[in-house]
Amino acid sequence: MGYSGHRFDVNLSILFTELPLLDRPAAAAAAGFTAVELWWPWPDDPTPPRAELDALKRALDEAGTELVGLNFYAGRLPGPDRGALSVPGEESARFRANVEVAAGFAASVGCRALNALYGNRVPGAAAAAQDALALENLALAARAADEIGAILLIETLNRPESPDYPLVTAAAAVEVADKVNAATGLANAEFLLDVYHLSMNGEDVGAAISAHGDRVGHVQIADNPGRGAPGTGSLPLERLLARLTAAGYDGWVGLEYKPGDRPSAECFGWLPREARAATR
Residue 212 reports pLDDT greater than 60: yes
Nearest partner of 35 among 62, 3, 59, 11, judged by Cα: 11
SS3 218: strand
Closest by Cα among 215, 203, 202, 224 to 244: 215
Predicted pLDDT at 251: 97
pLDDT at 79: 64
User: Using one digit for the tens of pLDDT, what is the confidence trace for 73-131?
Assistant: 998 776 666 799 999 999 999 999 999 999 999 999 999 999 999 999 999 999 999 99
pLDDT band at residue 37 using 50, 70 and 90 as cut-offs: very high
Would you say 123 and 85 are in contact if contact means Cβ atoms under 8 Å apart?
no
| pLDDT for position 81 | 62
Write down the mean pLDDT value for the chain. 96
- Burial class from Cβ neighbours inside 10 Å (0-12, 13-18, 19+) for residue 276 reads buried
Q: Which residues are catalytic?
A: 155, 256
Angle value at C-alpha 192, between 187 and 195, nearest 5 degrees: 155
- At 75 the pLDDT is 87
Best CA proximity match to 25, nearest among 67, 85, 71:
67
Average pLDDT over residues 258-279: 93
> What percentage of residues in the chain have a pLDDT greater than 70?
98
**pLDDT score at 247:** 96
The pLDDT, as a whole number, for residue 169 is 98
* pLDDT band at residue 3 using 50, 70 and 90 as cut-offs: confident
pLDDT at 41 over 80: yes
Instruction: Report, as an integer, the average pLDDT of 39-52.
Output: 97
**Ordered domains of the chain (ranges, CATH):** 7-275 (3.20.20.150)
Q: What is the pLDDT of residues 242-252, one digit of tens each?
A: 999 999 999 99
Q: Taking 90 as the threshold, does the pLDDT of residue 19 lie above it?
A: yes
pLDDT value of position 280: 47
DSSP class of 186: -
Q: What is the pLDDT of residue 78?
A: 66
Residue-wise pLDDT tens digits, 134-172: 999 999 999 999 999 999 999 999 999 999 999 999 999
Alpha helix locations (H) across 31-80?
Answer: 50-63
